[in-house]
Chain A
């Protein structure tokens, strides 16, 4: 038997969390070191896995499968493909950098780092699980640490934000649980054995065996579960609260990784498992994505709190992911995954940058600043770089991802054979309208840079120290990767393309049989 690399990767942070639990709570430095070493090791391990990963193959790799509860058709099944591999790497990197940045945490250190490591295991588990039972366990497991991270180390309204986050996402996941159970009862294979295995279910297409109305209800159950996580309009209202109240590193994980769980779920589950239903719903999904893009960007523009602005910008950017998925073609899926990766890098940077200024000034009011460019020149430089990445400047990662989404959306409209409904509603027009979102994004990002950094030197902030080495160390890898992906997108695109093509062929086959 081969060495179970994926299991090692998924459970390494959990082992770290257990070690942390056994360290005396007053030994803060020891706790932080253990967390950093374990999380750092997981980055190395994920790079190793990606190094061994065959980027040209679309099918699952590093698969591990052993029966767990055979009579219910539940197995312990892990695997990665070109869609999940970048997400696994992103999870390890962003978790590691958040933990590194969290050196500044001074209260209840032990619980904090144990929860962060637990959260990392949960996210890695969602990105690698190929059995619904396992997937659901990891999915729910990601809620609990985040609830406590927001609720204990968060801002003034943390209790409200934490329970709102928990309730909202639990509603989604319970709907998903019911949807899974419905599919389970339609999943009997040739031998009559039902299964919870995602890959087997995709082969057996239980969605085609139940009544069309029920299949649609199942699709909606999954979709709401995922859309709450993304979050897509109108399920987004938990996000501004959670983001604003969460501690900096919590926001980074939330925006950088947790939001991707939702879009990943759409790609991994909704699209291949219920392609017919997705084809019917695609125009509506695209419409919600479009509203998210435009509304998220406009709402961001209206914010005066820097953190809230970035929270709303996430809604807009994640809207592109959903739009790419709703296009139901290879380009769109590629764009979606690229955007997930890119947004993970950029928004993590942005939340770190908000943390930097908030640690120093203890306010986040955009209009309260001004002239910071002269006081904190390095911070100014970094912020401007990231803002440019966020608004989609070419040569940075965001541009290429959004370009692919637009190409996908435009292509999808042309492909009338695939889904007449999409063509009828005119996805190209969605693409054009989404452009407005890009323009608004550029506007508020530039306006924010202008309001915070330009203008008269403000003596009130004259004593603020510039960005320090730790913060730069946390930001630099993310910025470098964004630049790398922007200049050499094919490096990231190759595995994604292989997987997207692989799944697209499956979807065409399924819809062809409609």
Chain B
């Protein structure tokens, strides 16, 4: 192997330099690490602040509680189907968790019943989709309002008036271990929506679509049905 001449020269220079720096190696490394940490945190905070998707540090993104980790069932074994973001948690556990906040859990048949209830046409029953925009556009319960609880300020103007007028509000997210519907319901509670109007559909869109119930894509009331599942 023939090395370039300049590379070999560099190595000789480096040997002298290394010997000098090795003596103070640990102190230099620690000092550098502290500088990297301080400057890096400042840069990170600035980047988060400037990013349109940045987090608001003082906001409580999980009104249901930060210390509630997703149960291990949220993980998937390789032999299981990993297409869905979560697998269902026991309904009783979920109902008890929701009850702590005064929220009521409903099952798929109740959600479907409410969907077909004629009061829905009069705006007395409202569906709220608590997922992000991309998932909402990919397919939601027809007529459901978009309300991403992580960006509530964006959705309050459109979702709040119908919620105020409604007698019952069905809030859903992916289903299973997803608790974004709970977060969305608690945000609505915080702006004055009565708790007894808020119903959490625990099965979420995963159960809704697996039952082949109607789904529309794109914007609310677009009338575009989701393509049939393969």
Partners in one complex: no
